[in-house]
Chains A and B, each alone.
Chain A
Amino acid sequence: MSLKDIIAPFSVWKRVFEKPYTNKKPIDTRPGAPRYRGFHVNDLDTCIGCGTCEEICQNAAIDMVPVRETRHGDSGLRPKMDYGRCCWCALCVDICPSGSLGMSNEYLWVDEDPEVFRFIPGHDEKSWNDSELGYRRAEGYDLLEGNRVPMPMLSVEESQKSFVEMVQGYSKEQAKAEADRCIACGICVATCPAHMRVPEYIKAIRDDDMVEGLRIVYQANPLPASCGRVCSHACEYVCAMNHKGEAISIRWLKRYIVDQIYLGDYAKILHEREPDNGKKVAIIGSGPGGLSAAYYLRLLGYAVTIYDANEKAGGMLRYGIPEYRLPYDQVEKDIEFIASLGVEFRQNTRIGVDVDFLEVYGHNDAVFFSTGLSDPFGLEIAGEDLPGVVSGLDLLADVTNGKTPDIGSSVVVVGGGNVAMDAARTSRRYGAQVTILYRRREADMPADSEEIHEARGEGCEIVVQAIPLRIEKGEHTRLKLYWGKAEMVSDGPGKRPRPVLIEGSEEMIACDTVIPAIGQAGDFTFLPQDIASRLVVKRGQVEVDEFHRTSVDKIYAGGDIANPKRDAISAIANGHSAAKGIDIYLGNFQD
């Protein structure tokens, strides 16, 4: 103890004239820091209602509640916060795939009513709704992976020379890494026409449980080897991860599961069918719709016979899609398993020619037809009947049948759909120079964007806003195609602009073959007049109810002929619901 110990403490007196700190900083002039984790904000237009915020919240402070109309890619739900539970950790903000959720730097909220502290950010009127400040996920920090695992593909040089499958498939590590990106929000399930349980089979891949994966896949899709390759993947267009970067490769993950299991092992894995119930169903057309209906009906115990005009089953899967996209052995794999269940296939049997429809109708308890769209639309221009003009579908079918098409060295494909791309790329593989003419803009092309990209990569020239005018006999080449440029004319807000020919813009391409691929129509000639007249057909499509029952007793229809979506997965879904409908109609259905 020294004198200093007595005197030193008096040094505190020098602070006696200082103002208290709290007076220096009145609370109303003290906003939260720019990164402050304050009250939540949500951009309702950007939010897709995926519910990942709800999933990650460890306090169960978030409920997804209906706020908007449900539409493709948006559940219509929006997060509702419970500030009695929230701990302001902001993991919901970090994980939000669309980036809509954030936090303002507001932190003062006083109210007598405890109920107000449960609110829907962005929807309920709050003073901080437009706050620019507050916590947002920082650049360089991300809990999710936006980039897709690249798919090993044949190089363009190789692919344009052969019909070897371009997409080579994921390895186990690649598939697991891709499956790991999924946030299991289920927006894909809602969008998939067949409502495949996508997050569950993706989880099976993460767990390396292919048996479970195959079981899940077959519950909604009996053609997974084909669909895993050529599905129009509506699921991927709405995938929540699109908002962060690239969608999960849902289609290729499905393919990965199927590729891991030999056909011979299917029977051990997939559930056994019901015993025969003594009832018979005829199916006309062995495309995806017919095969799907056959599979699910057979599982329910029906005796199923498929009638098909072609030599082999598969419909468009086999005859409309080139081998480099869907190898025939994969179509076989799907079909063989269905056949192994006891479904009878009668190929080379055209109803209305080889067998009378009424005979089939009379001998079966129900008839499902999914005959597809087989009549190609003509270009409706002069010279269309000249030799060298061949429809896209005919070309593709010829190739499947093993014929070498006589296309010469230069080809013009007219159209912008997948058939056009397939015809163009097939022609390319036979060494032809290919030009694709399309009436509208590239963004309007109905073909998958990757198809367009790959076609161009393989050397197909794509000319958009081009209207074919007439075809004439050529001098050095077989044909001359005259076409004119189009301008896009708006028909008013909300309507698709339409192409209008620019007068005097005519140009000519000398070519050996012109391939129109501008769509197809259904063919109802196999039906007797009496039945055809009773079917309700609108815009070329048979009207059906939710179970794909037509207006004629015992007759069901599905696939492209009864479905505006016109893709394989919709046809598969149609087949499945028709099978349920037939089961209900025939009184076997047990809930």
Chain B
Amino acid sequence: MVETVKHDPRSKFPPVDATSGKSVYNLQSGKYMKVWQGPQHPGITGNMSLELTVCGDEVIDCKTHVGYLHRGFEKLMERRRYIQCFPLVCRICVPEPDFNEYLFAEGAEELAGIEIPEKARWYRALTLEMARLASFLMWIGGQAAAFGMGTIGQWTVTMRDYVLDLFEELSGGRIYHMYIIPGGVRADLPAGFALRVEQTLAQIGKVLDDVELALMYNAVFKKRAMGLGVITPSMVDEYGITGPNARGSGIQRDIRKDNPYLVYDQLEFSIVTETGGDAYARTWVRLRETRQSIDLIRQMLEKMPTSGPFFQKLPNVLHWKIPAGQTYKKAECTRGEYGFFMVSDGTELPRRIYVRGPSYTHAVTLMEKLAINVNIADTAGLMVSLHTYPPEIER
């Protein structure tokens, strides 16, 4: 019999071991049950799993398990020439690959001292906003479906497909675009591209109106999302929270504004925040950022240069040596701060490339904290409301 700290037997929480500080469950008691959610559960938004301990239908403990998706990209890149890393990086985050392409290219360019043409900077920003749009559209579907509203997911995922059509036209690929390459981008915009982008944006705008009515002004959604997974402003720094998860708690933090990269200092937009800190507030932030993304794409298509090169010639990529040095490049992706830490030792191969995906902090430490006291039926909705992509946790 372990020595436990003073414990009220009526509490749903188990006694705590006095020496280790860990909870002591007696699973035979019938009071507690372990439930595995994932790794194939759609509410996990990818291949990870939650080991939930429940008392009745309430979660009293949550352990996250990753490791189902480890592909070893960072190590693979140490054995490949810089140009050969280019097709690899996009695969680090499947639903939003472009940030990897951008940050890898930007890092390599900075270390090698390469300036890219102005047009390439606009094209890169356009690609990143289109990626943000596609990613949010898929997320909306996930968030709604987690609360049983699959129809909304059907609308938005269709809209995402229209954005992927645009990507296909621009880059030749729907999921892995491989469009942003060190030196610039791989091709100019196709003829009439801006027009087709505008048509798609208009269509998405209409769907977003419907989504707002069906989701945000929906008694069921409000009832379940409000108060779910509350992140207080004080938790933001403590847990390393970035992106809409932080902005949903009223924190004004957006790399596009704080450290403008590419052309964001030439665009008009303001940081979207909400104060609720719960899943509902985060949904509002993301919905409004989806609309903001549409607006940013429109601004870019209007302001971007129409002539000039889109690619700066590199040294021969087959034996491109980048001078020794290190850099950290970051950008605001849909989930928060995405970063690439790159070290070169002056050879043809990168010495180290570390990828900082925002999902790690959100899906592991934060989720373990927020899941406590949540009804088991809401864990999927909570998980989705943190908007995490396991591929970037594992890399």
Q: Which of B105-113, B212-220, B381-389 is the contact stretch?
A: B212-220
Decide if A32 is an interface residue (CB 8 Å cutoff): yes
Residues of chain B with a CB closer than 8 A to A134's CB: 172
User: Would you give the 0/1 interface string for B45-88, flagging 1 where the beta carbon is closer than 8 Å to chain A?
Assistant: 00000000000000000000000000000000000100111111
Question: Does B173 lie within 8 Å of A88, measured CB to CB?
Answer: yes
In the complex, A21→B160 CA distance in Å?
12
Question: Does B318 lie within 8 Å of A56, measured CB to CB?
Answer: yes
Question: Does A35 lie within 8 Å of B213, measured CB to CB?
Answer: no
User: Would you give the 0/1 interface string for A143-170, flagging 1 where the beta carbon is closer than 8 Å to chain B?
Assistant: 1110000000000000000000000000
In the complex, A145→B188 CA distance in Å?
19
Residues of chain B with a CB closer than 8 A to A37's CB: 172-173, 178
For residues 107 through 166 of chain A, which have their beta carbon under 8 Å from a beta carbon of chain B? 134-135, 138-145
Question: Does B210 lie within 8 Å of A15, measured CB to CB?
Answer: yes
Residues of chain A with a CB closer than 8 A to B190's CB: 34-35
Interface size on B, residues (CB 8 A): 48
Partner of A9, one of B214, B311, B313: B214
Question: Does A5 lie within 8 Å of B171, measured CB to CB?
Answer: no
Task: Return the chain A residue nearest B220 by Cβ.
Answer: A9
In the complex, A182→B318 CA distance in Å?
9
Residue in B161, B168, B313 whose Cβ sees the most chain A Cβ within 10 Å = B168
Residues of chain B with a CB closer than 8 A to A439's CB: none
Residues of chain A with a CB closer than 8 A to B186's CB: 94, 138, 141
Decide if B136 is an interface residue (CB 8 Å cutoff): no
Interface size on A, residues (CB 8 A): 46
Question: Does B210 lie within 8 Å of A87, measured CB to CB?
Answer: no
Question: Does B310 lie within 8 Å of A56, measured CB to CB?
Answer: no
A184 and B318 in contact, given A37-B172, A37-B173 (Cβ under 8 angstroms): yes
Question: Does A21 lie within 8 Å of B158, measured CB to CB?
Answer: yes
Residues of chain B with a CB closer than 8 A to A11's CB: 210, 213-214
Partner of B178, one of A6, A89, A144, A181: A89
A89 and B87 in contact, given A35-B187, A181-B316 (Cβ under 8 angstroms): yes
Question: Does A56 lie within 8 Å of B316, measured CB to CB?
Answer: no
In the complex, A95→B213 CA distance in Å?
51
In the complex, A183→B316 CA distance in Å?
8
In the complex, A203→B348 CA distance in Å?
13
Decide if A269 is an interface residue (CB 8 Å cutoff): no
Partner of A35, one of B83, B172, B217: B172
Residues of chain B with a CB closer than 8 A to A206's CB: 319
Partner of B217, one of A5, A135, A145, A182: A5
Decide if A1 is an interface residue (CB 8 Å cutoff): yes
Task: Return the chain A residue nearest B165 by Cβ.
Answer: A33
In the complex, A1→B315 CA distance in Å?
62
Residues of chain A with a CB closer than 8 A to B315's CB: 180
Question: Does A5 lie within 8 Å of B218, measured CB to CB?
Answer: yes
User: Would you give the 0/1 interface string for B293-336, flagging 1 where the beta carbon is closer than 8 Å to chain A?
Assistant: 00000000000000001110111111100000000000000000
Residues of chain B with a CB closer than 8 A to A144's CB: 316
Question: Does A9 lie within 8 Å of B318, measured CB to CB?
Answer: no
Decide if B184 is an interface residue (CB 8 Å cutoff): yes
Decide if B115 is an interface residue (CB 8 Å cutoff): no
For residues 130 through 180 of chain B, which have their beta carbon under 8 Å from a beta carbon of chain A? 151-152, 155, 158, 161, 165, 168-173, 176, 178
For residues 84 through 98 of chain B, which have their beta carbon under 8 Å from a beta carbon of chain A? 84-88, 91
Which A residues contact B (CB, under 8 angstroms)? 1, 4-6, 8-9, 11-12, 15, 21, 32-37, 52, 55-56, 58-59, 87-91, 94-95, 103, 134-135, 138-145, 180-184, 203, 206
Selected A-B contacts with CB under 8 Å, 14 pairs: A8-B213, A9-B218, A11-B210, A11-B213, A32-B168, A33-B172, A88-B176, A91-B86, A95-B318, A103-B172, A140-B311, A141-B187, A141-B310, A203-B319
Of all A-B residue pairs in the complex, the 7 with the closest CB atoms, nearest first, are A89-B87, A58-B84, A8-B217, A138-B187, A37-B172, A35-B172, A5-B219
Query: Could you list 10 further interchain pairs (A-B, Cβ under 8 angstroms) beyond the known A34-B169, A88-B173?
Result: A8-B213, A9-B217, A11-B210, A33-B169, A34-B190, A35-B187, A58-B80, A87-B176, A89-B178, A143-B314
